[in-house]
Amino acid sequence: MAETLPFDRTALENAWPILDDEERLEGLRLLPRVEAEDFFLSLSPREQAGLLAAMEPRERRSWIRLLAPDDAADVIQAAPEELRDELLELLDDITRREVRALLAYAEDDAGGLMSPRFARVRPDMTVDEAIRYLRRQVQRVETLYYVYVLDRQQHLLGVVSFRELFTAPPEALVRDIMHTDLVTVREDTDQEEVARLFAEHDLLAIPVVDEDGRMKGLVTVDDIVDVLQEEATEDIQKIGGSEALDAPYFDTPLPRMVRKRAGWLAALFVSEMLTSTAMGYFEHTIQRAVVLALFVPLIISSGGNSGS
C-alpha cells in the first residue's frame, strides 16, 4: 500500500471506495497533517468511525477532538458498540457532557442533528457589550450566521444577524434591534420536516427549543444537506425494490444485503407466478396467433422500466 499510494489527496479520494479501513488509514497518514485533518473532517460519520476503529488507542484522541459535538455524537453512534464508551472518554469534559446530551435524542430528530454551541446574548446588553461578549464565545460556537437572544432562563426571545449587530449604534440595546418572528423546531421534530422548513424559509440555521421555549441548540444548513442526501439515497433504494441500507453499498455485508432484498424479490416472484398462471388461460389464443408471443417480453420489459 505504502509503495503504490501517492502522497496526493485527489488520488486517495479516487481510490477511497475500494479501500478497506486499514488501507484508508494508511493513506490518511501519508498526507500532510493539516491536509489529512481537512480530509478527515470531510468524511461521513461512518467513514470517520471506521478510521478511528482502525487506529491505535493513543492515536484516536487527537482525531476525535477535531469534531464539533454534534459531529462527534454522529461518529460515536456509527462506531462499533464496544468502542463507543472509549471514544466518549477521549473527549474533553465540556464536549463529553454535550455529546452525552445529544446521544439521548433519536438520530433522525432535530435534537439528534443540532449543535449545542451557538452565539447568544442577553436582551438588556448594549450592542457594544454584546460584541465584546461574542468575541469571547467565537472559538466555541458552531456557526456565526445569527446571534440568539436569550433571557436568564434560556428562553429564546429573538434573533439578530451579525451584520445588523455590527452596523447598529454601539449604545443601542439588543432588544431594540432583534427580530421576534422566529422559525423554530422542537427537539422531537422529524428531520424531513426540518429540511422542509429550511427550503421554505431559505434559512442558514434553525433554533431548536424544548416545550417551554428554552433554546437547546441549532440545526445548520450543512446538517440538512447530509439529511437530504440520506433521504434521496433511501428513496432510490426503495424504488429499486430494496429496503434502505444502513451503510454504503460496498460496505454492506452480503447477508445483510440479501435480507434487505429477499422480501421484495419473493413478492415479485409470487406475482410473476400469478402472471404465468394468467397467461396459461390464453394458451389456445396464443397458439392461433403465435405472433402475439413476441409481445410478451416487450410488455414485461415495459412494466419493469416504468416501475423503476
pLDDT, tens digit, 9 for 90 and up, residues 121-140? 999 999 999 999 998 887 77
The reported pTM is 0.68
Is residue 32 classed as helix, strand or coil in its secondary structure? coil
Q: What's the rounded Cα separation, in Å, for the pair 174 and 122?
A: 7
Superfamily of domain 120-220: CBS-domain (3.10.580.10)
Topology adopted by domain 9-104: MgtE N-terminal fold (1.25.60)
Domain boundaries along the sequence of the chain: 9-104, 120-220, 253-307
User: How confident is the model over 59-71, as pLDDT tens digits?
Assistant: 999 999 999 999 9
Is residue 121 classed as helix, strand or coil in its secondary structure? strand
What is the full DSSP assignment across 259-281? HHHHHHHHHHHHHHHHHHHHHHT
Least confident segment among 42-46, 204-208, 290-294: 290-294
Overall average pLDDT of the 84-98 stretch: 94
CB 79 within 8 A of CB 48: no
User: How confident is the model over 212-258, as pLDDT tens digits?
Assistant: 999 999 999 888 887 777 666 666 665 555 555 555 555 566 676 66
Task: Tell me whether strands 215-220 and 205-209 are parallel, antiparallel or unpaired.
Answer: antiparallel
Residues, the chain, total?
Answer: 308
- The reported pLDDT for the residue numbered 5 is 45
- The reported pLDDT for the residue numbered 273 is 74
Q: What's the rounded Cα separation, in Å, for the pair 289 and 19?
A: 56
Question: Exposure string (b/e) for 198-220, b if CB count within 10 Å is 16 or more?
Answer: beeeebebbbbbeeeeebbbbbb
CB 308 within 8 A of CB 240: yes
Question: Exposure string (b/e) for 155-186, b if CB count within 10 Å is 16 or more?
Answer: ebbbbbbeeebeebeeeebbeebbeeeeebbe
* Residue of higher predicted confidence among 144 and 253: 144
Q: Which three cell numbers stand for residue 61?
A: 484522541
Overall average pLDDT of the 132-154 stretch: 86
CB 146 within 8 A of CB 205: yes
Q: How many CB atoms lie within 10 A of CB 51?
A: 19
Q: What's the rounded Cα separation, in Å, for the pair 154 and 203?
A: 22
Q: What's the rounded Cα separation, in Å, for the pair 296 and 301?
A: 9
For the purposes of burial, counting CB atoms within 10 Å of the CB of 306, is it exposed (0-12), middle (13-18) or buried (19 or more)? exposed
Compute the 3-state secondary structure of the chain and give helix, strand, coil in percent, each to the nearest 5.
60, 10, 25
Q: Which three cell numbers stand for residue 40?
A: 478527515
Q: What's the rounded Cα separation, in Å, for the pair 292 and 114?
A: 60
